[in-house]
Amino acid sequence: MAFGLIGEHLGHSYSPEIHKRLRGYEYELCPMPPAALPAFFARREFQGINVTIPYKQAVIPYCDALSDTARRVGAVNTIVRRSDGTLYGDNTDPAGFQFMLNEAGIALTGKHVLILGNGGASLTVKLIAAELGAKSITVIGRSDFESMVAHKNTQVIVNATPVGMFPHGEGCPAEPERFPALEAAADLIYNPLRTRFLQKARKVGLATADGLSMLVAQAAASAVLFTGEDCGEGEAARVLTGLRRDLENWVLIGMPGSGKSSLGQRLAEKSGRPFVDLDLEIEKFAGRPGSDILVTQGEAAFRELEAQMVSLFGAKTGQVIATGGGAVLRRPNVEALRSNGRLLWIRRDRQYLATAGRPLSVDLESLERERRPFYEGAADVQIEHNEDWETAFEKAWEVFNP
Task: Count each helix (H run) and each strand (E run) in the chain, helices first.
Answer: 15, 16
Do 120 and 75 touch, CB atoms closer than 8 A?
yes
End-to-end CA distance of the chain: 39
CA pair distance 223, 61, nearest whole angstrom: 23
Do 341 and 248 touch, CB atoms closer than 8 A?
yes
CA pair distance 184, 105, nearest whole angstrom: 9
How many other C-beta atoms can be found within 10 angstroms of the C-beta atom of residue 193?
21
Do 29 and 13 touch, CB atoms closer than 8 A?
yes
How many other C-beta atoms can be found within 10 angstroms of the C-beta atom of residue 33?
8
Active site residue 56: yes
Among candidate residues 56, 111, 260, 395, the one labeled active-site is: 56
CA pair distance 175, 170, nearest whole angstrom: 13
The type of residue at 72 is R
Going edge to edge, which strands form the sheet with 78-81? 28-31, 3-7, 48-51, 78-81, 87-90, 65-66
Q: Which helix (H) or strand (E) holds 162?
A: none
Q: Which helix (H) or strand (E) holds 7?
A: strand 3-7
Residue count (the chain) = 402
CA pair distance 228, 267, nearest whole angstrom: 41
Residue 53, SS3 per DSSP? coil
Q: Which residues are catalytic?
A: 56
